[in-house]
Structure 1
Amino acid sequence: MKSIAPPSVMNQHHPTTTHEFAMRFTSTPRGARLARRLVSHRLHEWGHSYDTTVKETLTLIAAELTANSVVHGHVPGRDFHLRLTAAPTGLRIEVSDTRTERRPTRTAGLPTETDADSGRGPVLVNALATWWGVAPRSGAPGKTVWVEVAITGP
């Protein structure tokens, strides 16, 4: 399990963000799909080609976080917000929605047979992320799920 209050992989000594992408999306499956595709395209533009592990990992994490925001964080008439940042030592993705009471948990195991169609998201994110957590949404009601992945490439 990852630490709840980790040291950031986003290089605390040189917190220079080299790239940033942020956008609001409709809280629908279509909005989640568009967010995932745009994350993939941005990473490619930032030098992480489509066939790299970093791009595949972040795209998979984006798909999981945005789908969870639509399914578990949806409030009628409210969008979700995605923010992707890159620094020399890591990538960070944040997905914010307006539900405060439905927070992902840091489960260590897979779901039971009765939950066979869901419940794998936190396990997947925990396996792929360097660090991840949930924080109150800044400046608005809700929560932000954030994930950081350390990189050694471009």
Structure 2
Amino acid sequence: MSEAVFPSPVEQTCRLTRHRKSARTARRKLHDFLLPHPAGELLLPTGELLVSELVTNAIQHCRAPRDRHILVHFQLSPDGTLRIEVHDADGEKPTPRPISTSSETGRGLFLVQELATQWGCCPREGGIGKFVWCHISPEAGAA
């Protein structure tokens, strides 16, 4: 008797606490999500970096009670484009800051701008908070 083969999911959502270790958890979840897919290895390095930056921004800059969770959503389209969304309970849109060569922080959105094929920020359905999203293509991921 042969085992049934189930296709890998093309979407996944996880809920994370607002804790400094949550960026590592998001990277691990993305890794587990992407590896079964043919384009997964090409998307993984850039995807891990950008999900880590977006989750870290949500942890550090969200002006909401600490017990509010961060929702992370991954979606892989048929053409191999990865969409990452990071939802938080703060409605303020992030804005990239000028980069200082002496500053040790503040480069997250710059990296998202430079490495993603597209990115943006939208209000969450229901009016509480926002989500920041980015797209990574396999071609861009291989760069």
Q: Could you state the TM-score of these two structures normalised by the residue count of structure 1?
A: 0.76
| Alignment check: 8 A CA contact 1:74 1:97 kept | no
Percent of aligned positions with the same letter in both sequences?
Answer: 35
Structure 2 matches for 1:42-61, cutoff 5 A? Answer: 42-48=33-39, 52-61=41-50
Tell me what 2:136 maps to.
149
CA contact (8 A) 2:18 2:59 kept: yes
Structure 1: distance between partners of 2:63 and 2:24: 15
Relative distance call for 1:79 and 1:88 in structure 2 (3 A) is: same
User: Is the Cα–Cα contact under 8 Å of residues 111 and 120 in structure 1 kept in the other structure?
Assistant: no
SS in 2 for 1:29: coil
1:129 equivalent in structure 2: 116
How many residue pairs match? The answer is: 130
Structure 2 counterparts to residues 75-86 of structure 1, below 5 A: 75=64, 76-86=66-76
Structure 1 residue 140 displacement after superposition: 4.5
Q: Aligned-pair RMSD on alpha carbons?
A: 2.0
- Greater relative contact order: 1 or 2 (C-alpha under 8 angstroms, separation 6 or more)? 1
Alignment CA distance shift 1:138-1:112 (3 Å)? farther
> Following the alignment from structure 2 to structure 1, what is the Cα–Cα distance between the partners of residues 26 and 109?
19
- d(CA) in 1 for partners of 2:137 and 2:13? 20
Gaps of 5+ in 2: 1-8
Question: Which of the numbers 66, 90, 103 marks the counterpart of 2:55?
Answer: 66
The TM-score normalised by the length of structure 2 is 0.81
